Amino acid sequence: MGLTKLVLRRPVSTVLAILCLIVFGLSSVMKSPLELMPDMNMSMMIVMTVYSGASPDDVSELVTKPIEDRASTLSGLDTISSQSKENMSIVMLKYKYGTDMNDAYDDLKKQMDLAKVELPEDADDPIMLELNTSLKPNVIMAVSHGEDDDLYNYVNNEIVPEFEKLSTAAEVSITGGLQKYIKVELMPEKLKQYGVSMSSIASDIAGSDITYPAGDTQVGDQKLSVSTEQPFETMDSLNDIPLTVSGGQTVYLSDVAKVYMGADDVESIARYKAENGLPEDIVALTVSKQQDAATLNVSKDVKRVVNELTAKDPSLQITIVDDDKDSIMSSLSSVIETMVLAIIISMVIIWLFFGDLKASMIVGSSIPVSILSSLILMQLMGFSLNVITLSALVLGVGMMVDNSTVVLESCFRATDDTGFREFSKAALNGTGVVYQSVIGSTLTTCVVFLPLAMLGGMTGQMFRPLGFTIVFCMTASLISAITVVPLCYMIYKPVEKKTAPLSRPVEKMQEAYRGIMTKLLNKRGLVMLASVALLLFSFFIAKFLRVEMMAEDDQGQISITAEVKPGMTIDKVDHIMKQIEDIISQQGDVESYITLAGSSGLSMSSDPNITVYLKKDRKMETDEVVRLWKQQLGGISDTNITVEAYSQVSAMMGSDDEYSVDLQSTNYDDLKAVSDQLAENLSKRPELTKVHSDLENAASVVKVTVNPIKARAAGLTPAQIGGTLNNMLSGTTPTSLNIDGNDIDVKVEYPKERYKTLDQIETITLQTPKGSSVALTDVADIHFADSPASITRQDKQYRATISGIYTENSDKNTKALLLSEVVQPAVSDNANVTIAQNQMDESMTEEFTALFQAIALAIFLVFVVMAAQFESPKFSIMVMTTIPFCLIGAFGLLWLADSAISMTSLLGFLMLVGTVVNNGILYVDTVNQYRREMDLNTALVEAGATRLRPILMTTLTTVVSMVPMALALGDSGSTTQGLALVNIGGLTASTILSLLMLPAYYSLMNGGGKKRMIIAD
């Protein structure tokens, strides 16, 4: 009350303080970074290692396992999982939450430095990355050039360095195009004629291109360094390199090889189709931001460089295919529109009750004051403006006006009841009447978010900013309600009109309420029974609700992934991708798409992928297009095609639209046998279609098994034989040549047709250290073997995933049914194989458990606050009976909207714990005041009738302001839809039932209708 008195005495100072608040608030908006989602520390590190030409088996044994062994000694690790694919090893390290990732990176780097010496010589050094939400490329570009036929090298040498200079860019990578190099093509008959080998030629080339320090010399009073060099300035100069041959002959490189500019075989595909254009082969360029860089700054920097490059070279075309800035601005704009709509709706509701525009403006003035105050605190806390924090402001709009509405309504009653015509006294007295109630209701709303602030994991990082933002809003709205509202009431002198649109309906409701409650207070047992029955019915409804990690937002993007067998030729892959492109091009809602297959850089997935961008004004929803394409693409052979709507939520958490079960074993062969049998059994079930195991895509590979005894007899080691084979089949790069400022590799290799078939490989002869020759087949066995598409391990156990697509014959119980009827019987036959919890289910269990614990703690904290307010645990327990009422409406509305129980809907339940008790607090506080002058039953009835209007106003403003969010308007509407639905349904049901049932509970706990007075504040 002292603060209210001060404000009313010093109105000019208060107005100036509000102006300062507006200035600082707007300044905070300008300084706050804009992002799509809060920046989250995933507590995960990834180690990626390229081992070109290696099968998944070889990658697993020679690369992945040594890295796993080294990584397993690290402290703070939770799990180690790995995937060994053709040419690449990916080891993912999940740390316990709270681990210092900077220290973890340093420790991991030390272990990887030790692991390097254990890896094959021709394997690349391991690359370590910290997994975070910005790992996905922030900008994807399609590059083409009308005049340059060496597009890859042009992009790599001229364009990539310009983007790498950006301080906001962390990684720039290329896909597509042909990489040119200087080819030294050996002539086998000449090698035999002059008695030289591939390795000796490579050594001679490397030895001829030298720069060697020789010391220093003195010229006068200056000391100059001396170096020996023999650089190659042109490609033709390579022809004159002398070779080491026996017999003293002079032989040059041109005598045994052809030197010319060649190009690597096509290893990756990049194709882009713009709106109203034709598919065009391009080089795809991706830019990923630094972890601490703002996405909008990355976008601005990239566009600046693009404009500079295209201005210098008019023939260069760079099209920005995907820019995270567009998604961010679109999503944030839709949230801001929802917030503005919520503000307007709230003010309209106030006008409907009071009938005075000035009253609506008074309550409405508290909204910008509260929002700007919150923005200042958010900026000080380092929060970005994202979908989550802005959604918190939208949710806060309805709750912000609650306190102001209660205070304003009390000011009106103070004027009417006391007859004071001096509005300053009415403002002071009216605020004083509800002072404790608004403080108590604000505290109960705020304390429920304390457990959220202590949560770890993904839930805590994603929703902690939301909790803090709502607390900021509610605290600011409380201060605004007891300062700005009384001040505006005193200045503008609003008058409540008896002819307000809802005045007469509210009066009728009050009269009807008095009649109903008079009867219900005589049937308290029936009221108790009805409340319990409704609660049980709500649990019955909950059984039919789906459960998912988090609803995906609709960004108008679809990802199509084609899983192919390892070793499939790039031409075959290209044929499959073109079949997919032909089908999706027929859909009129497609704006553009980009096809990427293979990679010339590091990639988390080597599977060919098409990212489709739908039109903004599309006729079909994204999910409808996904379902259509799943049917249309199912007939394409030689591949397993996955179609799913892409969003940042799905990228972080994965999609749970498909069925999957994980198996694990220490024995790969046992795991393969059980997974194949299980996949066959599941494929027979009508609930599933397109069932497959990730171990079934095995492909034949050629294995060369060295006989160590025979090799030793010939003077060779397995390593020498393997190295020679690698050079003969893949070539060797002894040096590079700088041409026009660009470094171009010099590669020594045999003609492509020389060792193309297995029969030709069997003719290979090896040179021994003694100068003699031995046939490869004399020291090694050459045979075929099956190799899986990938080998997955977790905590050093092999993993297999069997997945499928649910059919119309499935329901929410299908997964549990398949587990008991199909999966468990198949696994029980082999003791070495067990069912493993997949990462999605494991994450869901962890996050849901944390949220349930937070809800339980929130209920306890609300009880503590109310007990302190009422100085009576009895009244606190009484008010807390309103909490179960919210389940009736929350579950019911989720069921009607066909929405799932998710992290956001559980967060809605957490919020309800603090908001549904507010009406109960207001009601019990009023009853306690009335009982000083009335008997119990009369006080119960009159308290409800008196507080009916403010309760309706606060509930309607909160509920109706959330309707736009519940309708999932905009690109990111689905993310927080469940939260809004739970709040709308829960508040509505709790308000109605608390007005009807809380009086009965109060009567039972206070001795029925006995006429006894109490002393309560």
Q: What is the pLDDT of residues 216-269, one digit of tens each?
A: 887 878 888 887 777 777 888 889 898 888 777 788 999 999 999 988 777 788
Query: Residue 601: pLDDT band by 50, 70, 90 thresholds?
Result: very low
Handedness of CA 247, 252, 254, 259 (dihedral sign): positive
Strand runs (DSSP E) across 10-76, as ranges? 41-50
Across all residues in the chain, what is the average pLDDT? 85
**Per-residue confidence (pLDDT) for residue 977, from 0 to 100:** 87
Query: Residue 1012: pLDDT band by 50, 70, 90 thresholds?
Result: very low
CA-angle at 955, arms to 950 and 956, nearest 5°: 100
Strongest mean pLDDT among 59-73, 938-952, 974-988: 59-73
Q: Give the pairing type, strands 280-281 and 222-229.
A: unpaired
Residue 12, judged by CB atoms within 10 A of its CB (0-12, 13-18, 19+), counts as: exposed
Query: Residue 838: pLDDT band by 50, 70, 90 thresholds?
Result: confident
The mean pLDDT value for 76-99 works out to 88
What are the structure tokens assigned to 807, written together? 């059919």
User: What is the C-alpha separation between 622 and 632, in angstroms, rounded?
Assistant: 15
pLDDT by residue (tens digit) across 362-403? Answer: 888 888 888 999 999 999 998 988 888 888 888 888 778 888
Residue 173, judged by CB atoms within 10 A of its CB (0-12, 13-18, 19+), counts as: middle
**Per-residue confidence (pLDDT) for residue 1008, from 0 to 100:** 56
Q: Could you write out the DSSP letters of every residue in 138-157?
A: SEEEEEEESS-S-HHHHIII
User: What is the C-alpha separation between 552 and 555, in angstroms, rounded?
Assistant: 9
What are the structure tokens assigned to 526, written together? 């029936």
Q: Distances from the Cα of 396 to the Cαs of 445, 842, 958, in angstroms?
A: 11, 32, 8
User: What is the C-alpha separation between 742 and 560, in angstroms, rounded?
Assistant: 37
What is the number of other CB atoms lying within 10 angstroms of the CB of residue 315? 10
CATH of domain 1-31+355-496: 1.20.1640.10
User: Which ranges in the chain are annotated with CATH 1.20.1640.10?
Assistant: 1-31+355-496, 503-544+840-1017
Handedness of CA 792, 798, 804, 810 (dihedral sign): negative
The mean pLDDT value for 677-690 works out to 89
CB contact at 8 A, 46 and 83:
no
**Per-residue confidence (pLDDT) for residue 955, from 0 to 100:** 86
φ, ψ at 982 (rounded to 5°): -65, -40
pLDDT by residue (tens digit) across 709-745? Answer: 998 988 888 888 888 888 888 889 888 888 777 778 8
Alpha helices in 743-837, H assignment, sequence order:
758-761, 776-779, 814-818, 824-828
pLDDT by residue (tens digit) across 436-472? Answer: 878 878 888 888 888 888 887 778 888 889 889 989 9
What is the number of other CB atoms lying within 10 angstroms of the CB of residue 732? 21
What are the structure tokens assigned to 841, written together? 């289910």
With a pLDDT cut of 90, the percent of the chain lying above it is 23
Closest CA to 107 of 131, 71, 143: 71
Closest CA to 317 of 291, 348, 282: 282
Q: With left for phi above 0 and alpha for psi between -120 and 50, is residue 425 left, alpha or beta?
A: alpha
pLDDT by residue (tens digit) across 565-594? Answer: 777 888 899 999 999 999 999 998 999 999
**Per-residue confidence (pLDDT) for residue 273, from 0 to 100:** 92
What's the full length of the chain, in residues? 1017
What are the structure tokens assigned to 724, written together? 């020679």
DSSP code for 159: I
CB contact at 8 A, 535 and 989:
no
Q: Distances from the Cα of 692 to the Cαs of 558, 642, 678, 786, in angstroms?
A: 22, 12, 9, 17
Q: Could you write out the DSSP letters of every residue in 415-455?
A: HHHH----HHHHHHHHHHHHHHHHHHHHHHHHHTTHHHHH-
Euclidean distance between the first and final Cα of the chain, in Å?
16
User: What is the C-alpha separation between 322 and 613, in angstroms, rounded?
Assistant: 9
Handedness of CA 646, 651, 652, 657 (dihedral sign): positive
User: What is the C-alpha separation between 820 and 822, in angstroms, rounded?
Assistant: 6
CATH of domain 503-544+840-1017: 1.20.1640.10
pLDDT by residue (tens digit) across 17-64? Answer: 989 988 998 998 888 888 888 877 778 899 999 888 788 888 999 999
φ, ψ at 782 (rounded to 5°): -110, 120
CA-angle at 169, arms to 167 and 170, nearest 5°: 110
Domain 41-132 is of which CATH architecture? 2-Layer Sandwich (3.30)
**Per-residue confidence (pLDDT) for residue 651, from 0 to 100:** 54
Instruction: Identify the residue whose tokens are 């990626």.
Output: 48
The number of CA neighbours under 13 Å toward the Cβ of 907 is 31
What are the structure tokens assigned to 444, written together? 């109960």
On the question of pLDDT at 600 being above 70, the answer is no
pLDDT by residue (tens digit) across 178-227? Answer: 888 899 999 999 988 888 889 889 988 888 877 667 778 878 788 888 87
User: What is the C-alpha separation between 288 and 299, in angstroms, rounded?
Assistant: 10
CB contact at 8 A, 397 and 961:
yes
User: Which ranges in the chain are annotated with CATH 3.30.70.1430?
Assistant: 41-132
Q: Distances from the Cα of 150 to the Cαs of 18, 156, 170, 919, in angstroms?
A: 63, 10, 26, 72
CB contact at 8 A, 588 and 612:
no
What are the structure tokens assigned to 234, written together? 């042109």
CB contact at 8 A, 1009 and 524:
no
**Per-residue confidence (pLDDT) for residue 606, from 0 to 100:** 63
**Per-residue confidence (pLDDT) for residue 1017, from 0 to 100:** 36
**Per-residue confidence (pLDDT) for residue 115, from 0 to 100:** 92
The mean pLDDT value for 951-978 works out to 81
Strand runs (DSSP E) across 72-210, as ranges? 77-85, 88-95, 127-132, 139-145, 169-175, 180-186
Rg (CA), the chain: 36
